[in-house]
Amino acid sequence: MSGNVGRSIGAFGPLGRRDVLRGAGLAAGAAAFGSWLPRSARAQETFVWYTGLATEASDAVSKQFTEKTGIPAEYFRAGSNNLVQKFDQERQADQVRCSALLLTIPVLVAQWAKEGVLTQYDSPEFANYPEEFVIASYSAPTSAEPMAIAYNKEMVSAEEAPKTWEDLLDPKWKGKLALTDAASASSALHWFAALQSVYGKEFMEKLSQQDVLVRTGGADVANTLVSGERPVAAAITQSHASRAIGKGGALRIVVPEAGAPMIATMICIPAQAPDPETGKKFVDFVLSEDVQVMLQDDYFSPSLRKGIPPIKLDTGARPLSEIKPMASSPADLERFQNERAELTQEYMDLFK
Amino acid sequence: MAQARIAAAAGTQRQRVRHWSLGDPLLWLQIAVVLLLCVLIVYPAAILLKRSFVADDGTFSWVWYLQAYTNERNLWAIINTVIVATGAAALAAVSGTLLAWAVVRTDMPGRRLVEMASIVPFISTSFIGALAWILLGSPETGLINQLWRFLGNEDALINIFSLEGIIFVIALYEMPFVFLLVGGALRSMDPALEEASLASGAGLWRTTTRVTLPLVLPAILASSLLVFVLAAEQFGVPAVLGTPARIRVLTTSIVATNTFYPPQRGLGAALCVTLLVIALVGLWLQRRMLAGRSFTTVGGKGSQPRRVALGPFRWVMLGICCLYLLLAVVLPFSTIFLSSIRTLWTADFRWEQFTLANYHWILFEYPTTVRAIRNSLFLAVVGATVTILLCALISFLSLRTRLPGRNALDYLSMLPLGFPGVVLAYGLLQVWINPPLVLYGTVWILFIAYLTRYLPIGVRATSATLVQIHQELEESSLSCGANWFQTFRRVTLPLLKPGVIAGWILLFIAFSRELSASILLYSPGNEVLSVVLYDLQQNGQFREISALAFIQIAASIVLVLVAKWISRLDRTPEG
Amino acid sequence: MTEGGSEGLVVQRLVKRFGAVTAVDDVSFRVASGEFISLLGPSGCGKTTTLRCIAGFERADGGRISIDGAAVTDAATGLFVPPNKRNFGMVFQSYAIWPHMTVLDNVGYPLQVQGKYPRRAIREQVLEKLATVGLTGLEQRYPTQLSGGQQQRVAVARALIMEPKVLLFDEPLSNLDAKLRERMRFELVEIQGKLGIPAVYVTHDQAEAMVMSSRVIVMEGGRIAQEGVPEHIYAHPKSRFVADFIGLSNFVRAELCDRGANGTWLVQSPLGRHWCSGEGAHRPGEAVLLAIRPERISLASEPFVEGASFAAELQSRYFLGPYSEYFLRVGEQVLRAQSNAPLSVAIGERLYGRIRPEHCQIVAGGAEAAEPDG
């Protein structure tokens, strides 16, 4: 028996010259391929941030950051709900890859701050933002905007267009409405929670009977309107609608006088961040005046930074100062956050 | 003297392959492979099963199943899954059988062209097909509906965002499985069986219904059950076509429980188990069908089957086949191409709307695509290579040794056939997200998922070749004094080469477009191409998707052609 | 319908082409009722194509086929009766038993498709035919549960059940083992004899053809090479091809010297100067080929007293039971002979052979080189 084993071990050697040559060739090939390996298979060297901002805006921010600091940056974009879910899984696996996080769920960021999920960082830029929006030592808003109504102005006249949230229940809009999916975009979930708390559950029940077309993201809803698939959006972030208009889409935005649910995007640094120092630089960068102006002017994300002139557009979009927030106080947000699972369930049962 | 020694050596070597002892390195290798497969397949399934029975407080509970079967939305997901799978299977069975019959058994003109269409699923996926059909069949803006309205109609002709739309698109792209299997059965059928019916006084119709169809019925049933399972597993198509119409199937519901915040893992596990049962029942039925009623009807003379003269109806048949090509290939691909070079997707075409910006954006500006191409290529090249080598080893161990447990090996390696990608991924996610070995957040969890999911394809490709290699070729190597490792490396592996190459290409193509497992397992930085396509769709960036899809289709065509070229190269020495 | 002389199967000037290849080239024959004829020849000789033209599986390019006086194929008028309207029974090489039907359904199928018989009547008919072929009690079996011979009988029963006007056999015994094949030969002939209908049997097995047929048609390259009763074809092959294909033959080159009586000729061959027989027009001085059956060569250790004998050297001898096989050398020529006479000649020694004139046949194709043995 031992003879057998001995013989089989002997079979592996001796190495011939051809084996050596072939091995060298393989090694060279592997090395060449290795330089092409996916990032995570190698040591981390790029600054990675996660974002719920629109793709184009994220792209511009990432590129400008690299230009300014020389640090290569990569971003991962998804709806805030998906983002949080991926981030949670990473935290559980202790595999957090991002060193900064932009999220439209302020309450969750506040909660994380308390739970030690975030790196403490008191950015000098925080001082330039209204105190009520800043989570001290942890986070500040990169933008704030309303959830609005939008319509295709080639298909719907200004007179016909809905002007209030209740107008959406008009039978003439049956089969004409589109909606951002609250299961993936937390902005839409906030819209759902806010309107339901103000107008009651019946409002949403009636709306769900209007044969609403649910689309995953704001950009998707904007496209639906531009292409004419559905002429009216029941819920879309003002910035998504504005960007579609900026690209030539014949849309108009309606921010109801009665008020609109407000969405704030917060920036923070995870406690398990692989590169918290660059994360801090990035926070300063995004909150800086230049970037805030760019986000507002080029990508229609209204800034909360003090001293920046309000957004001016003839699209129906309104500056923050002219909008009456609806069910968007910190208390409201916290309540919605606690009921998140139930709210999502209610929304799913009605619209999906 | 020398001869006697060689003979004696051959005797002991031969014994070592045929029988086993504890000192046999092959035995340990076998044990290692079985353990590996258990970790890859059985363990995640067990975890999933356990998860579905454990409530949030850690006690045994039926709560998740209760939630799965009493909640209206989840219940509908189950019903819709069965409807979609059955509908797609039925539609694919009817159209696939009709086309196979037309191509193999009639004098329809253009038969070869139609037959070429059978490689459509290798060139496109049903997911890309669905993306294209959104552009064609959206109720308001779909090109077909716009044309319909232009012709003076009020309502939309078709609504692709519907159960029928999902069934239609899945059947369109899975139909070739029926086509290939039934076509093969029709081709290998002894023509005398039909002639005997004609000689008995039965006409063409009766011969076709009483003899031809019953004889290929096992092939029809087996292939349509395969389509049933594939359709039940589908994530991409129902995700993009069903979601806007609020149509849920099990796969999309499972993914939703995970992308939810907070995730509903228990409910997801219960839904996974449900989908698993549906898929396993389908596969079990298919096996029974093949085992119980396989008619070996291969003709004695290898004669060409008779072609039925259709008369003027052959042009009708050609029309039907062309309609299929139009729906599955021409319309979707040209729409995707058109959409990829335009700035806005609207009905009126103006020259200034044409642009290459979408290609530029997707290839150079959108960093995720670059990352995804890198990841997909890595997974496809390294993954396919590792998988096919493992498969060759499994085939060798289960076919060429007398070791204990080689049947278990064979069975284990075929098990993933019954695992829908989403279910497999859900199980892997639960396993590899926790210590000791955390693979979530790396590309390796995708690697494991792909390897596991496509193990059966690789094992089939390699064992089919291995069966054809006469065992004496290996035994003569052993008799020359080589041990099993030398024999495997110097004799078995080179002889296996055609099967290995064919299997590798199949795996490469499969790996480079896997979506339903990837959608749960990818993490930021580890995106793959199919996920990017899906995300862009979710984002509504249709022109960019079209550009990426077009690139993927073009790359696949090139790859399929290269594969054909290689297989021809491989065959030339023989004939 | 049954006018005198038009009964049975008549094939006239049949032509069938596949592209540039003419598979059947001007073939005519007639099969009377009760007659069993074989189409015999190597593969590719056109015998199967001829049969398939009769069945209607192939459409003839020329000629006419009629059954009992009614034309089923007539290339001149474009008449073509489809196979399912020709009313013939056919037994296929692969049996073509439908694996998804029971024996009962298989055999009853021809009656079922006519749609005018009640189930009970069909069943009775089937049981009767199964009894004829010796398969009583197996009607509920599926074909996979039957042996090769039983499947063969099912195929025969199915061919018989609708009382066909013609029986066609396409090498039906070639898939059976040797013993069973021999038994089935006699059974098939017996069954056909009882029915009294014409039968056409395609085979490449000359022994089978000779045992079973009242007449044999040897085909070569799409044409009929020779037609006649088995005994005549065996004894008087017209061509080297026929002599070669049917039985064993020695071929010896010879030169005609003088014409004798009753179609006999005096020839000069390596065997010496001797008499042989040959029909047809020949001239003295012509080079011809002689075909000599091995069993027609008489052997002895001493020269024969009567008739022309030749001397030869014994090259080898093989004992085969009923007879022994001898290889003789006569000059450059090697002859094969079969004899059961006791002969005490050692290898390399001299012995003597004799061939009667009627067993030495002049065949066409004399210009070709003669080979040592058949």
Condensed to tens digits (0 to 9), the pLDDT of residues B21-32 reads 666 777 888 889
**Measured between alpha carbons, how far is B138 from B142 in angstroms, rounded to an integer?**
4
Q: B265-292 and B72-105 are packed helices; what angle lies between their axes, rounded to 10 degrees?
A: 30
C154 contacts in B (CB within 8 Å)? Answer: none
Closest residue of A to B353, CA-based? A248
Question: What's the confidence (pLDDT) of residue B506?
Answer: 81
CA distances from B87 to B90, B176, B212, B249, C38 (A): 5, 16, 24, 14, 55
Question: What's the confidence (pLDDT) of residue C73?
Answer: 93
> Is pLDDT of A178 > 90?
yes
Do the chains contact at A89 and B139, CB–CB below 8 Å? no
Do the chains contact at B540 and A219, CB–CB below 8 Å? yes
3-state secondary structure of B45: helix
> Is pLDDT of B493 > 80?
no
Condensed to tens digits (0 to 9), the pLDDT of residues A26-41 reads 666 665 555 555 544 4
Tell which B residues from 210 to 269 touch C, by Cβ distance under 8 Å: 210-211, 214-215, 217
A222 contacts in B (CB within 8 Å)? Answer: 540
How many CB pairs below 8 Å do chains A and B form together? 181
3-state secondary structure of B341: coil
Condensed to tens digits (0 to 9), the pLDDT of residues B435-490 reads 777 888 888 999 999 999 999 988 888 888 888 777 777 777 777 777 777 777 77
* Sheet-wide strand order for C21-31: C21-31, C9-18, C62-67, C70-74, C79-80
**Measured between alpha carbons, how far is A26 from A30 in angstroms, rounded to an integer?**
6
Tell which B residues from 80 to 139 touch C, by Cβ distance under 8 Å: none
**Measured between alpha carbons, how far is C36 from C192 in angstroms, rounded to an integer?**
8
Q: DSSP string of C298-313?
A: EEESS--SSS-EEEEE
Helix-, strand-, coil-residue percentages of chain B, each rounded to 5: 75, 0, 20
Cis check for the bond before B435: say yes or no (omega within 30 of 0). Answer: no
Q: In terms of residues, how long is chain A?
A: 352
CA distances from C99 to A349, B196, B289, B295 (A): 54, 13, 15, 6
Which stretch of DSSP H or E encloses residue B336? helix B331-340
Do the chains contact at B441 and A40, CB–CB below 8 Å? yes
Determine the distance in angstroms separating the CA of A210 from the nearest CA of chain B, rounded to an integer: 13
**Structure-token pair, residue C366:** 């004399």
Condensed to tens digits (0 to 9), the pLDDT of residues C66-124 reads 999 899 999 999 999 988 888 899 998 888 888 888 999 999 998 988 888 899 999 99
Other Cβ atoms less than 10 A from the Cβ of B560: the count is 15
**Measured between alpha carbons, how far is B514 from B383 in angstroms, rounded to an integer?**
12
> Is pLDDT of C44 > 70?
yes
ipTM: 0.77
From the list A183, A213, A226, which residue is nearest B256 (CB)?
Answer: A183
Question: What's the confidence (pLDDT) of residue C39?
Answer: 95
Q: Within its chain, how far is the Cα of C108 from the centroid?
A: 31
Pick from B22, B243, B488, B539 the residue to mutate for testing the A interface (most A CBs within 10 Å). B539
Question: What's the confidence (pLDDT) of residue C222?
Answer: 93
Q: What burial class does residue C179 get, using C-beta atoms within 10 Å of its C-beta: 0-12 exposed, 13-18 middle, 19+ buried?
A: exposed
**Measured between alpha carbons, how far is C239 from B369 in angstroms, rounded to an integer?**
80
With beta carbons less than 8 A apart as the criterion, state whether C56 and B194 touch: no
Question: What's the confidence (pLDDT) of residue B113?
Answer: 82
With beta carbons less than 8 A apart as the criterion, state whether B434 and B289 touch: no
**Measured between alpha carbons, how far is C217 from C200 in angstroms, rounded to an integer?**
10
Closest CA to C92 of B206, B300, B201, B306: B300
Question: What's the confidence (pLDDT) of residue A16?
Answer: 47
Condensed to tens digits (0 to 9), the pLDDT of residues A41-85 reads 444 578 999 998 888 889 899 999 999 999 989 888 888 888 888
B211 contacts in C (CB within 8 Å)? Answer: 98
pLDDT bin (cut points 50, 70, 90) of residue B369 is: confident
User: What is the overall mean pLDDT for chain A?
Assistant: 84
φ/ψ of A268, rounded to 5, equals -150, 170
B297 contacts in C (CB within 8 Å)? Answer: 99
Q: Which residue has the higher pLDDT, C187 or C65?
A: C65
Condensed to tens digits (0 to 9), the pLDDT of residues C122-179 reads 999 999 999 988 888 998 998 888 888 899 899 999 998 988 999 999 998 888 888 8
Q: What percent of chain A has pLDDT over 70?
A: 88
φ/ψ of A45, rounded to 5, equals -140, -10
Condensed to tens digits (0 to 9), the pLDDT of residues A75-113 reads 888 888 888 888 888 888 888 889 999 998 888 898 899
CA dihedral C361, C364, C369, C372 (to 10 degrees): -30
Do the chains contact at A39 and B140, CB–CB below 8 Å? no
Question: What's the confidence (pLDDT) of residue B568?
Answer: 63
Closest residue of C to B193, CA-based? C96
Cis check for the bond before B262: say yes or no (omega within 30 of 0). Answer: yes
Do the chains contact at B16 and A4, CB–CB below 8 Å? yes
CB within 8 Å of B435: residues ≥ 6 apart: A94
User: What is the overall mean pLDDT for chain B?
Assistant: 82
DSSP strand pairing (A73-77 vs C350-354): unpaired
With beta carbons less than 8 A apart as the criterion, state whether C311 and C352 touch: yes
Question: What's the confidence (pLDDT) of residue A227?
Answer: 83
| Interchain touch C–B (≥3 Cβ pairs closer than 8 Å) | yes
**Measured between alpha carbons, how far is C243 from B370 in angstroms, rounded to an integer?**
79
Question: What's the confidence (pLDDT) of residue B21?
Answer: 62
B107 contacts in C (CB within 8 Å)? Answer: none
Which single residue is written with the structure tokens 């029940």? Answer: A205
Closest residue of B to C108, CA-based? B200
Cis check for the bond before C82: say yes or no (omega within 30 of 0). Answer: no
Counting Cα atoms < 13 Å in the Cβ hemisphere of A261 gives 27
Q: Which residue has the higher pLDDT, A55 or B271?
A: B271
Chain B contact for C2, CB < 8 A?
no
Strand partners for C259? C265
Chain B contact for C93, CB < 8 A?
yes
Do the chains contact at B200 and C158, CB–CB below 8 Å? yes
**Measured between alpha carbons, how far is C296 from C317 in angstroms, rounded to an integer?**
17
Chain C contact for B489, CB < 8 A?
no
